[in-house]
Amino acid sequence: MGNWASRKAREVVKNTARILTTELMIAAQALDFRMEMEDNKFELGKGTKVAHEVIRKQVAVIEEDKTIEIYEELEKAQELINTGKLLEEVEKVVELLIIRKNHI
């Protein structure tokens, strides 16, 4: 029973990371559309700006709904989450109140 539960928990964590990655890509894409508008009179917050820059350095803007292209970009975004690179870059400009693995 414990073995099954641990495998199921790992699957849940993997799926949650994939959902977060998808949300991250959607947010970046929405910001790109918003910044292209003529009445662009808003400024991104420090953390949001860094996160968007990091994402766009590695993940291309999706111009058309091509399944292969979307999955390739999802994999790149997933790497930013899995490696902790995105969090690391945002933490350089914004103090985040989170518990890290190495602090437990």
What is the pTM for the complete model shown? 0.77
Closest by CA to 72, choosing from 59, 85, 57, 56, is 59
pLDDT given for residue 70 in this prediction: 82
The predicted pLDDT at position 99 comes to 58
Q: What is the pLDDT of residue 102?
A: 54
Listed in sequence order, the residues at least 6 apart from 17 whose beta carbon sits closer than 8 Å to its beta carbon are 78, 81, 82
CB 74 within 8 A of CB 17: no
Which string of DSSP letters, residue by residue, matches 23-67? HHHHHHHHHHHHHHSTT------HHHHHHHHHHHHHS----S--H
Residue pLDDT, tens place only, 2-55: 788 889 999 998 999 899 999 999 999 999 988 888 777 788 899 999 999 999
What pLDDT band is residue 98 in, cutting at 50, 70 and 90? Answer: low
What integer is the mean pLDDT of 54-73?
84
